[in-house]
Chain A
Amino acid sequence: GAVVSQHPSWVICKSGTSVKIECRSLDFQATTMFWYRQFPKQSLMLMATSNEGSKATYEQGVEKDKFLINHASLTLSTLTVTSAHPEDSSFYICSARAWGTSGSPYNEQFFGPGTRLTVL
């Protein structure tokens, strides 16, 4: 399967600071990337969907000014948690989806390994 990487794998920051998480598709071009958040013992919750070159679409209840998403290239998307607070501590996971050539759509989503954010 296709490989998606995330960096960093874990980060600890002070309350009020901003943190940037990178998501890269290593061996395919991702026209669409998704950002999820997962709290302990809970399932993944979709935060936003981003298409290369356009603004992200946020799910209801997710503050777009707090979680800034940039998808400037077909292999890189970034999530910036601005003015992070302890309640933002979570496991953030990105996912990338590619599209194949005409007649053979490649629609599976591949997930990164996740980034553990701890805000003190």
Chain B
Amino acid sequence: DTEVTQTPKHLVMGMTNKKSLKCEQHMGHRAMYWYKQKAKKPPELMFVYSYEKLSINESVPSRFSPECPNSSLLNLHLHALQPEDSALYLCASSQGRQGRETQYFGPGTRLLVL
């Protein structure tokens, strides 16, 4: 099974709201990722967790706060977002030696910030 699940599928929030995106995988993968994807663009890396520790933060604004409570779960906490943060947020996981690992993506959460 190569499934990564994400909830919710869709989210609408105001600029003063606090919300969270959730990602889950049960493949035993030890690396997990958050990507942001705008329409007609490739995914942009936001964060990488390796063995539950944050290993890459691509200079993401602090209004996005990642969390990895355990090896199967990855959250993205959202606070005081801007309309330009509206996008598809993708989670992925992988296992294996760097470079040779295959990233498996979830279906994404479509976020609209009003």
Partners in one complex: no
